[in-house]
């Protein structure tokens, strides 16, 4: 046996005790120090031990000093069925697990090179014959070879920190240091990250710093010490909001800030995470503190690259620029402006230019903007098209055009799981497992191959990873636009887009860049340009990509 210390930070609560599988049902007194921590020391054998705290609450919704049971807010394992934290002891020391990392020495892609694939663990894979069977982290690991073949080099996991119940998206976090038990174990997550790194795939974690679930331990211990008494924006409120302005003069600290710093440090050091996607940054506010977080996480991850992404609605490109706190933000305007053009609304060529050249919207660098056709917050493109009576071959053609815009626009592309082969499940909080059998269909498989080809195009041509965009031809009446992407080492990619519903035969694309032999990438044929004019057929809602 070895002495193990249990501690609970509750500086203004009157009393707390420890209860555990090792205490024979009796309370173990805890003593509070001047640093605000209650502590108790217990001799324990190696193995698993369940425990919880009983504390006199200071939260306004309970009786004054009411005794309540809470799970350790810093527990790395949680047993929801038993409403207890789980402590693992090995060689006399607390440990998360005994996983051994194998691929920490692998080189990982830089931020500008990323093609991100967003995943909800429960709906991604696993038990394909049973749509209601919950997917787990191990099933993502099983699909990594598919993602590699597609060309993906970063996955963005929707929240995987412990939340209540067995089904959900995870945006009501209760336990910030624990892996959602329905998704698997801590070893399962580490194995996934390790196998990703072995394949040169980075792992970005979607994390919620704006708010907690309503029954999170900190809400019950001392609500007003950790959370705002009133939401910042009642119309955009999803739970108790951390109070990052609260400063404890007695202890000389901002408790919510220190807690969140520890959370991020834990996931980087314990799970080797390569980036964060911060949810609801606009509601979180406090950009100065957010800037501290991004600086610290990048330093903690060195020498590996790190990516800090924010969700800001409405968009705020300034948050990603020189004085901004973030490396990038989700570019929701890209989706909202592009989709109506894909389903046939009036196309404005100047708007298309804004989408392709993110600098026109205020983004300064190529890594600052994340572009996408869909994500977990929106219906998939196939659903949107179907809602506008666009089906079958026409729908797949529009999907291909959308993919070209995402992959050739300035910024980092993101693919919502299944989008690359035409998944059609509508947005829902209920189980909605991806139908992988769609890949057996010619059209779905062809769309996936189209995505794979475009991803290879990005990887082979550094021009698409710069902020350089020039529009050399536009024809607003015919809804045709041509632009070139380039870098200073000679990489050049030209895209010609027909956004009309008219087949344009023998169309003349003028001012075409000369002095090079061009090759059409998608259909694989050489192109002849004479005196700056390329004569070609431009089918309706189709793009040509030349290298």
Per-residue pLDDT tens digits for 412-431 = 999 999 999 999 999 998 88
111-208+275-461 placed in CATH 3.20.20.80? yes
Per DSSP bridges, beta strands 492-498 and 480-486 are antiparallel
| pLDDT at residue number 81 | 86
| pLDDT at residue number 168 | 84
Higher pLDDT, 475 or 316: 475
Dihedrals φ, ψ of 334, to 5°? -60, -50
Q: What is the DSSP string of 151-171?
A: T--EEEEPP-EE-SSSSS-S-
Name the pLDDT band for 284 (thresholds 50, 70, 90).
Answer: confident
Q: Is the pLDDT of residue 166 over 80?
A: no
Torsion-angle region of 250 (φ positive above 0: left; ψ -120 to 50: alpha; else: beta): alpha
Mean pLDDT of 44-66: 96
Find all residues with CB under 8 Å of 456, minimum gap 6, and list them: 151
Cite the residue boundaries of each domain of the chain with CATH code 3.20.20.80: 111-208+275-461
C-alpha distances (whole Å) from 286 to each of 210, 223, 232 are: 10, 20, 11
| pLDDT at residue number 305 | 97
| pLDDT at residue number 203 | 98
Residue recorded with tokens 């694309």: 509
C-alpha distances (whole Å) from 126 to each of 138, 416, 433 are: 8, 17, 9
**Assigned token pair, 449:** 């191959």
Per-residue pLDDT tens digits for 513-537 = 987 789 999 999 999 999 999 999 9
Q: Is the pLDDT of residue 368 over 70?
A: yes
Name the pLDDT band for 80 (thresholds 50, 70, 90).
Answer: confident
Q: Is the pLDDT of residue 505 over 70?
A: yes
The share of the chain scoring above pLDDT 90, in percent, equals: 90
Per DSSP bridges, beta strands 202-207 and 275-278 are parallel
Q: Which helix (H) or strand (E) holds 475?
A: strand 469-475
Mean pLDDT of 14-38: 96
Residue recorded with tokens 């989008």: 419
156 bridge partner residues: 118, 204
Mean pLDDT of 326-348: 95
Own/partner contacts of 171-175, CB < 8 Å, gap of 24 or more, are: 171/208, 171/238, 171/279, 172/212, 172/213, 172/214, 172/238, 172/239, 173/208, 173/212, 173/213, 173/216, 174/78, 174/212, 174/213, 174/215, 174/216, 174/217, 175/71, 175/73, 175/75, 175/78, 175/216, 175/217
Tell me if residue 352 falls in helix, strand or coil.
helix
- 8 A C-beta contact, residue 214 and residue 240: yes
**Assigned token pair, 538:** 């431009």
State the average pLDDT for the chain: 95
469-546 placed in CATH 3.30.70.20? no
Per DSSP bridges, beta strands 469-475 and 307-310 are unpaired
Residue 422 has, within 13 A of its CA and on its CB side, a CA count of: 26
| pLDDT at residue number 315 | 87
Per DSSP bridges, beta strands 369-371 and 412-416 are parallel
Name the pLDDT band for 314 (thresholds 50, 70, 90).
Answer: confident
Q: Report how far residue 512's alpha carbon sits from residue 534's, in angstroms, rounded to the nearest whole number.
A: 7
| Domain spanning 4-95: CATH superfamily | Immunoglobulins (2.60.40.10)
Give Rg (Cα) of the chain.
26
Q: Is the pLDDT of residue 230 over 90?
A: no
The pTM score is 0.97
Name the pLDDT band for 1 (thresholds 50, 70, 90).
Answer: confident
| pLDDT at residue number 131 | 67
Q: Distance between the two ends of the chain, CA-based, in angstroms?
A: 68
Mean pLDDT of 54-72: 96
**Assigned token pair, 3:** 């002495």
Cite the residue boundaries of each domain of the chain with CATH code 2.60.40.1180: 469-546
Tell me if residue 188 falls in helix, strand or coil.
helix
Q: Report how far residue 136's alpha carbon sits from residue 121's, in angstroms, rounded to the nearest whole number.
A: 6
Q: Report how far residue 216's alpha carbon sits from residue 504's, in angstroms, rounded to the nearest whole number.
A: 60
Q: Report how far residue 80's alpha carbon sits from residue 83's, in angstroms, rounded to the nearest whole number.
A: 5
Mean pLDDT of 281-299: 92
Q: Is the pLDDT of residue 52 over 80?
A: yes
Q: Is the pLDDT of residue 130 over 80?
A: no
Cite the residue boundaries of each domain of the chain with CATH code 2.60.40.10: 4-95
Name the pLDDT band for 237 (thresholds 50, 70, 90).
Answer: confident
The C-alpha torsion from 504 through 338 and 393 to 539, rounded to 10°, is: 10
């Amino acid at each position: 046996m070895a002495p193990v210390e249990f501690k609970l930070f509750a500086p203004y609560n009157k009393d707390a005790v420890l209860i555990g599988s090792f205490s024979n049902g009796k309370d173990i007194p805890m003593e509070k120090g001047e640093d605000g921590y209650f502590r108790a020391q217990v001799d324990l054998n190696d193995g698993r031990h369940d425990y919880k705290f009983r504390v006199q609450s200071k939260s306004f919704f309970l009786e004054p000093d009411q005794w309540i049971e809470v799970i350790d807010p810093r527990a790395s394992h949680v047993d929801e069925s038993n409403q207890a934290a789980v402590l693992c002891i090995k060689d006399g020391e607390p440990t998360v697990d005994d996983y051994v990392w194998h691929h920490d020495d692998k080189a990982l892609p830089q931020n500008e090179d990323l093609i991100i694939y967003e995943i909800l663990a429960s709906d991604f894979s696993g038990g394909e014959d049973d749509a209601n069977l919950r997917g787990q982290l191990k099933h993502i690991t099983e699909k990594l070879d598919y993602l590699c073949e597609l060309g993906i080099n970063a996955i963005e996991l929707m929240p995987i920190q412990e939340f209540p119940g067995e089904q959900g998206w995870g945006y009501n976090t209760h336990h910030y240091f624990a892996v959602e038990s329905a998704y698997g174990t801590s070893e399962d997550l580490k194995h996934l990250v390790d196998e990703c790194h072995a394949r040169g795939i980075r792992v970005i974690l979607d994390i919620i710093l704006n708010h907690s679930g309503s029954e999170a331990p900190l809400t019950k211990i001392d609500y007003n010490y950790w959370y705002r008494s009133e939401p910042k924006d009642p119309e955009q409120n999803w739970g108790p909001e951390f109070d990052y302005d609260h400063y404890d003069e007695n202890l000389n600290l901002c408790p919510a800030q220190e807690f969140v710093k520890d959370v991020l440090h834990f996931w980087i050091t314990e799970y080797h995470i390569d980036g964060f996607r911060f949810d609801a940054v606009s509601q979180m506010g406090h950009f100065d503190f957010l800037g501290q977080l991004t600086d610290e996480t990048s330093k903690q991850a060195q020498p590996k690259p790190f990516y800090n992404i924010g969700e800001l609605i409405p968009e705020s490109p300034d948050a990603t620029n020189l004085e901004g706190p973030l490396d990038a933000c989700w570019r929701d305007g890209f989706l909202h402006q592009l989709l109506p053009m894909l389903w046939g609304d009036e196309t404005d060529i100047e708007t298309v230019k804004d989408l392709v050249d993110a600098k026109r919207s205020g983004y300064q660098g190529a890594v600052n903007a994340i572009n996408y056709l869909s994500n977990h917050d929106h219906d998939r493109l196939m659903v949107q098209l179907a809602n506008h009576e666009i089906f079958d071959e026409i729908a797949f053609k529009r999907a291909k055009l959308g993919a070209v815009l995402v992959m050739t626009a300035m910024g980092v592309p993101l693919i919502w799981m299944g989008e690359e082969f035409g998944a059609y499940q509508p947005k829902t909080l209920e189980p909605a497992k991806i139908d992988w059998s769609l890949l057996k269909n010619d059209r779905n498989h062809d769309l996936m191959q189209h995505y794979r080809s475009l991803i290879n195009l990005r990887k082979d041509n550094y021009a698409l990873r710069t902020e350089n965009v020039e529009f050399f031809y536009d024809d607003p009446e015919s809804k045709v636009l041509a632009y070139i992407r380039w870098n200073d080492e000679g990489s050049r990619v030209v895209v010609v887009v027909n956004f009309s519903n008219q087949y344009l035969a023998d169309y003349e694309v003028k001012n075409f860049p000369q002095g090079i032999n061009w090759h059409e990438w998608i259909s694989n044929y050489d192109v002849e340009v004479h005196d700056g004019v390329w004569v070609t057929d431009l089918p309706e809602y189709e793009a040509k990509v030349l290298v």
